[in-house]
Chain A
Amino acid sequence: MEGWDPTTKSTLTQIPLLTTRAGPRDGAAWTQRLKEEYKALIAYTSMNKSKDNDWFRISAANPEGTRWTGKCWYIHNLLKYEFDLQFDIPVTYPATAPELELPQLDGKTHKMYRGGKICLTVHFKPLWAKNCPRFGIAHALCLGLAPWLAAEIPILVDSGMIKHKDDTASSSEDQNQ
């Protein structure tokens, strides 16, 4: 696990691993996989809460569990910045990871592909490929989204690309002057 910070590493090892290799087109096997996804997400969320490091909410947006929506947030200079989070489970899952999207940040950073898909580090895909099918949604959030927020949100805030919600009114007045 070269290239990962110690916190990410230790958190990752505590998320339960999955065993069923199944994607959304695999019927009953997908239901089994979905159960494992929930278990991993429950364990990860509980762990975050117990460490006072709760940072996302996610739930299936359709009964098949192929589309997920929620929120994620990041604290910078004691202020909380919250964003919508969404992604689809690709038909080739888990061979390929879900592409995590933050639609509100689309066009605000180069570290993003079109449609608000976050640009993952060179370390993510190799690790995902190496661990297929044991990594799931929870692992993607831990390895993909958490480091992305930690790296990009401070830059976006400091450069003025994003404003804190309480700050929006005054700053737009500033711009008008």
Chain B
Amino acid sequence: MRSRIENLSNLATSVPIHRSKVKDMSAEVVDSNPYSRLMALQRMGIVENYERIRKFSVAIVGIGGVGSVAAEMLTRCGIGRLLLYDYDKVELANMNRLFFRPEQVGMTKTEAAVQTLSDINPDVVFENYTLNITTVQGFETFMSSLKNKSFDPNKEGSGVDLVLSCVDNYEARMVVNQACNELNQTWMESGVSENAVSGHIQLLVPGETACFACAPPLVVASGVDERTLKREGVCAASLPTTMGVVAGLLVQNTLKYLLNFGQVTPYLGYNALKDFFPTMEMKPNPQCSNSACLERQREYMLTKPARDAAAREKMEAEALSATECPIHAENEWNISVVDDSEVSGSDVGSSGVLPEGLTRELPTADVYTDLPASDETSTFDDLEELRKQLEALSS
């Protein structure tokens, strides 16, 4: 009993250790260097210049089961700046997921996240936004925060390098899509199914790949029949495992994209029941209902000749080095100058056949013919008049 009390009082008096900021990332392998194992990636030749990570800004929308874990991973990797968006508070019901702690219940998710993350790595610059991006006002703040370049005034494009969507609903994803299409901002989508046994990540480059509105969202078929899924009394299930896997896939793709190593996946699904990882590519839909997407598609087509020339140059350089190197001799038939429109792998158009294991979450909108605006009701075509009429019905 006494030793227990002593133990408890020791715990109470122990002061948490806060590390101070570091100026440069060192590759020196000592206990006190938080970056030594990351800088080793550079020594091993996996990453050319790891320290560039401090230049990058990543926006994470949705600090839930996936977003909070993604934020922690990027924080531990020493990302330059993290912008965090969520309108929700931490609840006890969130404790089956990773990251948040019971004593943070009641705090906003963004504040609680910054509290934990700045302790883990004080070198990261954090910005937290407690707002709902789907409302008109929230959207304006969201847009201006993405455009703000005070962190790196010389940066081209918007103020961030990548947006990660970690939200749990279609509505919010469509809003991230809208913002990124308007800003010509590359982003990555992530999602976990409502039955918690499948998930996916997707890369979206405005004009170059399909946007989120180009076609109904693509999700991993869990193999569970929707009609047999028992939904009484619940909206959605969640597992820390599936969310952790998806967050890991998302940040892995983020690191590859930002630090330029390996292949950045255009779409990677995860079926937890069958241990199946479907992948695919999707081209933009020329009939997309999103006007900003169509604008980006036009811009992308205009830069096609320059891209083709660069691709040809790269191909020729590779062909040259291949002939010099006998190891690659058996590959020579695979080297050819292909037209940009020929894409290898499983590429589907917006209406094309889907690879095995993937399915559309929603149907496409029916085609309908515009009814000519009728003038017969012109007496009621005044907004104020209509408002009053509804008001009158309400009394």
Contacts and interface: CB of A to CB of B under 8 A. Distances in A.
A95 to B, nearest CB: 6
Given A90-B134, A126-B363, A42 B393 contact: yes
Interface string A124-138: 011001111010000
A76 to B, nearest CB: 18
A59 B235 CA distance: 28
B261 interface: no
B371 interface: yes
B175 A45 contact: no
Interface residues of A, number: 45
A24 interface: yes
A96 B133 CA distance: 13
B300 interface: no
Contacts of A126: 362-363
Interface in B359-387: 362-366, 368, 370-371, 373, 377, 380-381, 383, 386-387
Contacts of B235: 110-113, 119
Interface string B161-181: 000000001110011011000
B365 A130 contact: yes
Interface residues of B, number: 44
A115 to B, nearest CB: 8
Interface string B213-249: 1001000000000100001011100000000000000
B103 interface: no
Interface in A75-132: 88-92, 95-97, 99, 110-115, 119, 122, 125-126, 129-132
A146 to B, nearest CB: 17
Nearest to B388: A38
Given A38-B386, A113-B235, A131 B171 contact: no
Contacts of A99: 134, 171
